[in-house]
Structures are given as structure tokens and as C-alpha cells.
Structure 1
Amino acid sequence: MDSPVDPQGSDGSLVAHVMRAIRQRIAGRTLAPGAKLPSIRRLAEAMQVSKSTVVEAYERLAAEGVVRSRRGSGFYVAGHLPPFSLAEMGPRLDRAVDPLWVSRQSLAAGEDVLKPGCGWLPPSWMPEAGIRRALRALARAEEATLADYGTPLGLAPLRRLLARRMAERGIEAAPDQIVLTESGTQAIDLVCRFLLEPGDAVLVDDPCYFNFHALLRAHRVKVAGVPYTASGPDLELFAQALAAHRPRLYLTNSALHNPTGATLSPLVAHRVLKLAEQAGTTIVEDDIFADFEHEPAPRLAAFDGLERVVHIGSFSKTLSAAVRCGFIAARRDWIEGLTDLKIATSFGSGRLSAELVLTVLTDGTHRKHVEGLRERLSRAMGQTSARLKAIGIMPWIEPRGGMFLWCELPEGLDAADIARRALAENVVLAPGNAFSLSQSASRFLRFNVAQSTDPRIYATLRSAMQA
């Protein structure tokens, strides 16, 4: 609230901007019930508006019952606390294309909507036959499998299998260092609940997966960004951010970075770990795209041995988004605390989902599926890249695998404007600033190559760019 107001609001009103800034602070709990608002003079100076603008904003908020005036004392937050609102904490001017909007539009889209901006594979790309076969096998399982809660850590045979799979990528994690979760998102949420307090600082890549922003906002922490390069975070700026913010966590992808498709280099990985150790920062490594790799990239958890790195994964991207199953691998002395939080927030594990994942992993379905999937994604990557280049949209890099292309629009075009025009034509895009904390990616779009095969997408893009 100490930053200048942008006078170009949706209603053109400086008063509305000041009111919005106050509401966001109240919604985010940084102004609690009964808290005194800044003086009229102080707020006017901080937001670079006139004192009369602040007076009118305070009076309107008082009329709405949001704040109360005390004669001779000032203005105070009303005693009733409104429900916590991620929407109010977000930038309203960019609400049409903010992180929650991208997710909401993609999840709610009907079959007639094209979704090159979403973050998952089409259903036809998933191993449907193998899943149906596993479901038939589970239908004959003992009644406890179908009806009972799972154990606190989660299905033991699946945890043993996950430990072997991680060992193939150089990560040493015993089964008792693994906690099953409902998803990769729940895994990150549990780690945040376990390690963070409101007001702590967290470092993220810029750009990064947009839901990191929304999730961290819900935990009411301070988020700082570090520019991401083709080989990992910018090391000089990473060191500066550690010194300036003293973050409790650094949240990142190591392999097939979302949204850029970049791959962490061994040199950068070693330096990141050294800098994090010196700063006392824990690293949360989100590795949900591991199975898309043709050749394994360096893993921070492999170099670190799970001392300072928490490793997270799931099967939503390669198996089924409807089968919710993820995991956390962490140091042993953190497992009990993470398990207690899991019980408190979701009670038992999703036993049926875990049994289904175990079946698909052990009967050969998953191995055969991902082998074919990598080749299919490679073909789609080349085709999508060529189609985008033909209309003047240039990939930032050519990724070594995965499903994402991070692309730059021609000079003078804004990705948010393109996304709004495309939505009117039933095409959901993912504009760059939804991923960028610094809002420095206004000319970028993320494309999911598996969802970008329909020619109508490129016709819509061409039309939107010419509008």
C-alpha cells in the first residue's frame, strides 16, 4: 500500500484505487479488525495522491461499513473481518488474465473450447485402457481397499516403488522419508504449512508456474522473484535476492521448468545449493514433469541428499488428473510433522487412488505409456514451434522435452490483450504476466503443445494479433 497509485483504473478513479488498496490489505489480513489506518497525510504521500482523494476514499469505505471513523483519532478497520479473499489480494486491473483466471477458465471449459494455455494433456493422450484394466482389478480387491482410510504415510508398497524410481534419478529417499498426498499441489501446501509463518519471505523463479503465486498468497507470505535463464535462475540475482529477503523457502522446478521448458544445468544446481545453504534457505523442488524427460536432468535433491531440499512429485500429468496422487520426500526428522499436518487437513490418504497408481506402475502400463508419450510430445513440439514461427510468435528456447513452449510475441503486442480476444473465440491462452511476479512478461505466452494441434488456434492467434 506504500506504492504510488496507477491513475488509469478500470473506472478512471484515483479514489477507487485507494479504496482497492485498503480492501486488499484487509482481505490479506495485514490490516486486522480494529487496526488503525494510515493518517490521511501519510497515505496521500505514500500513494502520491491528494489528501482530498484519501479523505473521499476513507469516507466511502466508512459508508460501506469496511472502516469506522473515530472523532479526533482517525479511521479504523471495522470489527467484522470479511472472508479471506485471494481475488481481493490480486491485481483487479489484471483480473481477466491473472493466475486464478487461467486455471478457472481451463478447468471450466466445455468440449468446444480449445485450451492451448492449460497445463495438462488431453484425455485422449492418457493410458485409458490401462486405467480401466486397473479399475477392474481394484473392483475385485478386498473391502478395506475400497472403503477404508489409508495409513498416515500412505500405501507402503507404493512408497517403496517411489523410492526405487527416485533412486534412478540419483535421489536417495527411504520409504519412511516419503509421504503420499492427494496431489502435487497438496504436497506443496503441506510443506508451506509446515515451514512458513505469515510474513516469511519465499523466493520463486520469474517466470514460474502461476499457481505458486496463488498458493503462496494464500499463506500470506512475502514473495520475491528471480529471473530464470535457459540453465536455471540467474545466479548473481539469486544471491542478491537471498541477501535482500532472507527467504525461508525457494520454490522451483529443476527439470523441464514451467513455463519456460528450460533445464537446470549441473553448474547452476551446485551453486544454487551452496548459496541456499549459506542463507539458511530450504528448497522445494517440484518435479511433476519428471516422466516427460528423455534424459534425466540434474536434481537438487540428488546433489543435496534431502538435507536442504524437499522433493515433490505426482502422477496427474502423465497418468490421470482425475486420479489424485502425489508425494513428498523429505528429511526424516520432518516426516512426523508433515504427517501430522496431513492428518489434520485431510485425515487419511486416498487409498483407492494410491492402489490404482501402484497397479498401473507395476503392470507395465505406465512405462509403455510414457515411452510413447515422449515421442508424441516431441513431434507435437516441432509442429507447434513451426506453426507459431510462421505467424511471428517465436519460442524462447527449444526445450529438451515436455509439453511447454514459452514464446514471445512481435514487438508492440500485449499477451493479455491477445488472450482476451482469443477467449471470445473459445480459445484459452496463458499470457506471460500470469507467470511473472515482476509483470515483465507481457509479450510472452505459454503453449501446451499437446493442446495446440487444432488449426483453429493459429487462425485465432493471427486474427487477434492483427486486431
Structure 2
Amino acid sequence: MAAVHERIAARTLTPGSRLPSIREFAQCLGVSKSTVVEAYERLRADGVIQSRPGAGYYVSAPLAPLSLSRTEPCRDRDIDPLWITRQSLDAAHDTLKPGCGWMPPSWMPEASLRRALRKVARSTGNALADYAPAQGLAPLRELLSHRLANISINTAAADILLTESGTQAIDLMCRCLLENGDTVLVDDPCYFNFHALLKAHGAHVISVPYTATGPDISLFENALKTHRPRLYITNSGVHNPTGATLSTDTALRVVKLAEQYDLRIVEDDIFTDFEQSPAVRLAALDGLQRVCLIGSFSKTISASIRCGFIAAPASWVEELLDLKIATSFGSGNLAAHITLAILKDGAYRKHVESLRQRLSDQRIRVAQRLATMNILPWLTPQAGLYLWCQLPNGIDAAAVARKALADHVVLAPGNAFSLSHDFSDFMRFNVTQTHDETVYQVLEAAMSDTPQNEKAQ
């Protein structure tokens, strides 16, 4: 394949030129004919060449000229809730990403992934090529039911729905529970993609300040009285971005108020395996009556294998199933089998145990290093990936993030997480992605280079 690309680049082969025959090219390169066949078929799939029955292979029309400006993420857009994700996903391989929301591959259970892939590949079932059942792989739903029981959420496998991801799970819940213009309550700050998803659904979004023990309960109640939101979306186990943990007292008040004001709650619980001891869950206190719980394994198994789930009130399951089929037809059968194989592997338990300790150590190291720059955490999290930190002297985090991006460092400025935009001098740091000293050097230079008129007043 490289040889063909080189000849096209050197104009030895031009559009419409006939490629050497399979036999000729095999002899020229000293490889087997089957290797040439495979290379030609891959090049054909890429649109580089085309086959003419009985006549051989020919160079296709050239691709559009490469624009270097399109090889990097768009950097001049406003720093909105999607900015951080787009910079992180589209970043070059040498870009450092302390602002992204996931762990680097070296932190993931690669050996377990390879074992699971081999096991599923050897299986004689339908995992490799068929659709999954509408509700998702039954053995995985059974296992999830047992796992949820460990955090006091008692639900049958029949009330668990598998999805492509945690994001798809939230999207399905919004489709199920919201109509255009409905009011939705979120935390301030909260996971920035909540804002983007709700905007896509045409929701009217309001926010309530989040404290070290959960939403400010007096303001929460006032929001329910004043705005009558239909839905509240939150994290409870480990809050994103703050790292706070919901207290039992606050959780009880939230559940009671939800019942009083006919509020539905989506509880995003994708960080559960990071906890040393489980925090209280709204779904457990509510008994899955008006609270649904969402989870996924992108953070602890693989961001590449997309597998999430919804544990919902029984009365919602049928409508969610219809919506799932209508919008995606089904969830990933292969991803579900791989996830099941890993969760049943005894090595996964050891992986998450070591991961918790490693995260704890890394949070301490990163906090100490940031402190030398007078960047201080809002609180000291007990678990999770993130430190929610305030920059010194009211420095505008968005201005710092733009400057850092020019040096190939993706940061997460605070107002991307905030509907009120009250966190202009805050940043979220992913401790697993903040190991390189270059991050701190670029951050310090960007902070020192932020002129006075770009600082928050």
C-alpha cells in the first residue's frame, strides 16, 4: 500500500493509470500474491484505486488537495460546552489533554481487553455478526443487576436497558421525558455535555449552585417552586466537575422534594467503580420510582468499546425500548459481549482496586504541583479523576485555555461547565492526564501572559 501511495505522490502513477498486475507487483516487491491482493483491496476500499473486471486495477481520480488548516481542530470558535471535547478528540498524538474527561490508554486494563477479545472471537454465538436483543445482552443485564444491588439499588434485569454509551442513555431519557420547551434543572457547575444535550432537545435549562454535599437545597426547592422543572440531571456518586459527594441528608431532601413537585431525575453514575466506599444514590433512596440511574464503562474499561445502560422504573422501559429501536435500532452486541467477559474476569476487580489507589496518589501529586502555582482545589475529592481548581488573582481560565492550546495543551475552563458563567477563574484538571511537566510549564506561561484586561473582574 505504501509503495502505491509513493508512486502516486511521485506522479509515477497518475489518475487513470493501470497498476502492475498482481503477479508483477508480487515479484517486484518480493511478497506473496495474496499480500498484493489484500493491499489492492484495501486501497480500493479507501477510494485510491478502482478495479475494472477483466482489465485490472487503475488509479482513481485524485482526492481534493490537502488543506493544512483542516488537519487541526477549529480553535477560533467560542469556548462552549463542546469546545473541550472537540479539542480533545481531534488533537494530534503529541497533544497533552489535562482538560479531557477520560484516562490515557496506559491506565486501562489492556491485558483484560485482549483476553476478552480473544474469548469473544472464539465464541460460537452471534456476538461477531448479529444484532443484539432489543433490550441488550441478557447475561450482562443480569450481572448489572447484581452490581447495582451492591450500592443498594434493587432492580431486576428486566428493568435494565443496554445502550451504546452513557451519553446515548441520557439522550434516550430526554427523548422519553421531555418535550420541546420543557424546563430542566442542572447543577452549577455540571458536566458540560448536559448543556449540549439539553440544547439539542430544545429544553429550557436552569441551574442551582452545587455545594460540597450536593445542590444548595434551599435554592433547589425555590427553583422547583418557581420554574416547575420536569427533569433534574445530576451526578451523585462522584460529581463532575467538582469531585464532591452527595450527602445522605441532602439526598433525602432531594428525593422528598422530587416527589412533592413531581420531578423526574436522571442520575448519571459513570464513576461508581472509582469510589472506595459507595456514596448514597438517589435511585436507592427513591427505589427507582421517579429516578433512573445511568452507567457506562468508558472510564474504567475502554473508551473505544461503547457500552452503557439505564436502570429505570418498570413503567418507563417499554417506551425507552421503542425509542432505542427508533433512533439506533439496537445496542452494540460485540461491545456487550466484551464488557461482560471483562466484568466476569477476576482481574477486573484487581484493576479497579489498584486504580483507586493510583488515582488517590495522583490527585495528591497534581494538587501539590498546582499549589506551587497558587492554583488551589475547591475541595479535596475522595475519589475520581478530577480536581476543580481556582486560578489565582481572578485570571480568566478561557483566555489561558486558548493560549495553552497554541502550545498543544487542552485545558478545561470553568465556564464551559456553568450555566451562570460564575466560574471564569476555575479549571477542571484530569489528574490522569496531568502527569507531564510540560502541562505545568505551558499553564504557567499562559497564566503569566494573560493581560490585565483578560482577567475576570
Using the size of structure 1 for normalisation, the TM-score is 0.79
The one-letter amino acid paired with 2:331 is S
Name the structure 1 match of 2:184.
202
Aligned counterpart in structure 1 of residue 112 of structure 2, from 113, 130, 137: 130
State the Cα distance separating 1:264 from its structure 2 match: 0.1
Q: Is the Cα contact below 8 Å between 1:231 and 1:268 reproduced in 2?
A: yes
Query: Do 1:96 and 1:420's aligned partners in 2 also have CA atoms closer than 8 Å?
Result: no
Q: What are the ranges of 5 or more consecutive residues in structure 2 without an aligned counterpart? A: 1-74, 450-457
CA positional deviation for 1:384: 0.3
Residue pair 1:152, 1:348 contacting (<8 A) in 2 also: yes
Match 1:395 to one of 362, 377, 389: 377
Change (3 A) 1:165 1:132: same
The within-5 A match list for 1:223-242 is: 223-242=205-224
Task: Return the offset for 1:349.
Answer: 2.1
Match of 1:416? 398
In structure 2, the partner of 1:330 is 312
1:463 aligns with 2:445: yes
SS at match of 2:128: helix
1:305 equivalent to 2:312? Answer no
Structure 1 unaligned regions, length at least 5: 1-92
Percent identical residues: 63
1:147 aligned residue: 129
Counterpart residue number, 1:189: 171
Counterpart secondary structure, 1:442 = coil
Pairing 1:116–2:77 present: no
Of stretches 134-143 and 306-315 in structure 1, the one that deviates more from structure 2 is 134-143
Q: How far does residue 96 in structure 1 lie from its aligned partner after superposition?
A: 3.2
1:163 is matched with: 145
The match for 2:243 among 222, 239, 261 is: 261
Q: Does 2:368 match 1:386?
A: yes
State the alpha-carbon separation in 2 of the partners of residues 123 and 114 from structure 1.
13
Kindly state the Cα deviation for residue 366 of structure 1 after the two structures are TM-superposed. Answer: 1.7
Instruction: For 2:239, give the aligned amino acid.
Output: H
What is the deviation of 1:95? 3.9
* Alpha-carbon distance in structure 2 between the residues aligned to 1:94 and 1:288: 31
Q: Which amino acid aligns with 1:309?
A: V
CA distance in 2, matches of 1:111, 1:253: 31
Runs of 4+ aligned residues of structure 1 deviating over 3 Å after TM superposition are 93-96
Cα distance, 1:145 vs. partner? 1.6
Q: Distance in 2 between matches of 1:141 and 1:345?
A: 29
Aligned residues: 376
Residue 282 (structure 1) aligns with: 264
Q: Which has the larger radius of gyration?
A: 2
1:341 and 2:328 correspond: no
Residue type matched to 1:111 in 2?
H
Counterpart residue number, 2:83: 101
- What SS does the corresponding residue of 1:146 show, helix, strand or coil? coil
User: Root-mean-square deviation (CA), in Å?
Assistant: 1.3
Q: What code does the residue aligned with 1:208 have?
A: C
Question: How far apart, in 1, do the equivalents of 2:446 and 2:423 lie?
Answer: 18
Conserved? CA contact 1:312–1:326, under 8 Å: yes
Alignment partners' CA distance in 2, 1:96 and 1:384 = 28
Match of 2:413 in 1: 431
Match of 1:244 in 2: 226
For residues 87 and 227 of structure 2, the distance between their equivalents in structure 1, rounded to whole angstroms, comes to: 34
Counterpart CA distance in 1 for 2:256 and 2:126 is 47
SS in 2 for 1:147: coil
**Over residues 63-82 of structure 1, what are the superposed CA-to-partner deviations in whole Å (9 max), with x where a residue is unaligned?**
xxxxxxxxxxxxxxxxxxxx
Listed one character per residue, the Cα deviations across residues 183-223 of structure 1 (whole Å, up to 9, x for unaligned) are 00000000000010000000000000000000000000100
Rounded to whole Å, the distance in 2 between the matches of 1:223 and 1:103 is 21
User: How far is 1:443 from its partner?
Assistant: 0.6
Q: Secondary structure at the match of 1:144?
A: coil
Q: Aligned partners of 1:280 and 1:263: how far apart in 2?
A: 24
TM-score (ref. length: structure 2): 0.81
For residue 126 of structure 2, give the secondary structure of its aligned residue in structure 1: helix
1:443 aligns with 2:416: no
What is the CA-CA distance between 1:333 and the residue it aligns to? 1.1
**In the alignment, which of 298, 306, 311 is matched to residue 316 of structure 1?**
298
SS in structure 1 at match of 2:292: strand
Q: 2:357 aligns with which of 362, 375, 386?
A: 375
Paired AA for residue 280 in structure 1: D
Q: Please report how far the alpha carbon of residue 94 of structure 1 lies from its aligned counterpart in structure 2 after TM superposition.
A: 9.4
Distance 1:361 1:308 in 2: 28
CA shift, 1:104, in A, is 0.3
Kept in 2: contact 1:395–1:407 (CA 8 A): yes
Residue aligned with 2:85, SS = helix
Equivalent residue for 1:361?
A: 343
Q: Deviations over 1:316-342 (max 9, x none)?
A: 000000000000001111101000100
Give how far 1:239 is off: 0.6
CA distance in 1, matches of 2:148, 2:76: 40
Counterpart Cα distance in 2 of 1:228 and 1:349: 33
CA contact (8 A) 1:184 1:327 kept: yes
Write the distance in 2 (CA, Å) between the matches of 1:324 and 1:297. Answer: 25
1:143: how far off? 4.9
Q: Which residue of 1 aligns with 2:35?
A: none
Please list the CA deviations of residues 248-281 of structure 1 after superposition, one character each: whole Å capped at 9, or x if unmatched: 1000000110000000000000001111111111
SS of the residue corresponding to residue 209 of structure 2 reads: strand
* Structure 2 residue 332 is the aligned partner of structure 1 residue 350: yes
Distance in 2, Cα, partners of 1:151 & 1:292: 30
Q: Secondary structure at the match of 2:300?
A: coil
Any idea what SS the aligned residue of 1:447 has? strand
Report the equivalent of 1:59. Answer: none
CA deviation profile, 1:73-106 (whole Å, cap 9, x unmatched): xxxxxxxxxxxxxxxxxxxx99432111111000
Query: Structure 2: how far apart are the matches of 1:412 and 1:345?
Result: 44
Are the counterparts in 2 of residues 206 and 435 from structure 1 also a CA contact under 8 Å? yes
